[in-house]
Chains A and B, each alone.
Chain A
Amino acid sequence: MKKLINDPRDVVAEALVGLALAHPDRLRVDHDNAVVYRAEPTRPGKVALVSGGGSGHEPLHGGFVGLGMLDAACAGQVFTSPVPDQVLAATTTVDAGAGVLHIAKNYTGDVMNFDMASELAAESGIQVESVVVDDDVAVEDSLHTAGRRGTGLTVLLEKLVGAAAEQGRDLDAVTTLARSINDRGRSMGVALTSCTVPEVGRPTFDLAEDEIEVGVGIHGEPGRERRSLTTAAEVAQMLVDPVLDDLGTVSARERAAIVMLNGMGATPLLELYLMFGEVAKLLAARGIVPTRTLVGSYITSLEMAGCSLTVLEADEELLTLWDAPVNTPGLRWGA
């Protein structure tokens, strides 16, 4: 294992120290609870958004705290969900009377810990709603699995729902919007290399030099199949087809979408732009117009090489929310 760390057990705590020092104008960190807050308290009457999950996906979630996105992010250990105490502390702190929306990704641990926290928050009189993101088409959504995993769509959802909360929409409206975004977006990833959890010290999975894992999860979970490395054009096809098939895009009419081509941590922007070029051609052939795009590393898997594609069908409302000002360490425009 070759990493810029001190003690593997201190990685998350020490990264939070650096995050706070890097962005003192925008962020405040509760180091005891490992929760990242906005520097300013929640505006009275604004619905507050609390997300969180295992660390190792930076900038998600702590890097998306700030104007126009999250109010708080709970940092779990690497690839391990935060605990209910953290989520409860965040929920209690950011509630400004209009209630709190929890945004969790669909993993057994995350869902259980957020559930326990919302039960406790509700007991103390805070209005809490939850949305569980499950956009990864690599996993069949059936009774025989824990359901689709939450991946790249989480980034887009936190941006869009954050903008809606900033506009002053109430908790019901914000929750309904979050669920409808989850229904309209899908993702799929591919890994070229594995990643190494600091406390484990060796790669999460073994992948030969000439192999790729198609449909990989953001924790290095296996995907649909292991294949031989091939051209970017062919890999793009492996991502675009399942995503669009799942979205059910058969219409001949052109449709607008917000598209993210995301790096897993170790893939250079050069390759991500190259891949986006390939993806855009294939989307165009199926009538999808990437009206808004993100190309870069927004939801990573430590030092995994590879990328993921997220496609969210977008109407005028979503495009307007997308363009609204956002000012976070990980995403910033218009503010």
Chain B
Amino acid sequence: MKAFAFLRGVTTLVITLAGLLFITFVIGRVMPIDPVVAVVGDKASQETYARAREEMGLDKPIWVQFGRYIEGVARGDLGQSSSSGQPVVEDIARAFPATLELSVFAIVIGVLVGLPLGVYAAHRRNTWFDHAARFMSLFGYSTPVFWLGLIALLIFYAQLGWTSGPGRIGTAYRYTVQEWSGLLLIDTLRSGDWNAFRSAFSHIILPGLLLGYFSLAYIARMTRNFMIEELNKEYVTMARIKGASETRILWRHAFPNALVPVVTVIALSFGHLLEGAVLTETVFAWPGLGLYITKSLFSADMPAVLGGTLVVGVCFVLLNKATELIYPFLDPRTRAR
């Protein structure tokens, strides 16, 4: 039975990813951009153009192109990026850890601050604390990240000098750190270079806090809503009648019941962070996945776009699976299903 469930899961995963790739592939082909021009430039001769088109396989019917691409993917070959000239696997191996590191940093902040904020805002509904929390969430939701990023750089980097500037690590350490995981905070610690670690930390803190703020705004808002719903239920009234403390009511009675949808919200928020925050990455010169996919899309570099899409798709599928696995621990009712 378990083997059947596993097989079904794998089949669903493969169909989902193949569908995702097919849709992305078709969109790429109907875009009004000639990928050959993006590679050979505006002035290339017709002969050069034709040769490049052939080399890129664009002279073949679209279904042949897609078939060849899928065949490559099955072998672990995501093709060659026409805009960077590098194998897509190498490009993604460089860009994804940068995004992952920033996303983890941001989601930790989002959860550590967003959850308590949402819980207490629900508990103190319509008080100044609730209004402040809601304003903070709304501000995070409505402020352009581009603007806020530049303002943060201006204040904390250029004026106060509290943090380092754009990029992932200082120039002096950029090529001295032995790369192991691609996550610089880990790699610098692993290599025992304390100054390099401080440099990496000093670089990630500003974009990390900024993305963390946007993440916590979403998590806090949703947590508040779920908690209000729970706090209005009869079992909470009963707990109060029985004399349970407010802290106990909040954290032992209501919060565990709100946790299932909250975990879904956290997973979604993390998934969006993993897609790459293009504007944040632009402002902070952070060489992540979002920037890579966007730039590739603008130059019709379909191998790169498809490779990036595949990674993001796998991330979402894995996150969904992870949340499904967590549910039974949070809500015993789901174990029976």
Do the two chains bind?
no
> B-contacting residues of A (Cβ < 8 Å)?
none
Residues of B participating in the A interface, judged by any CB pair closer than 8 Å = none
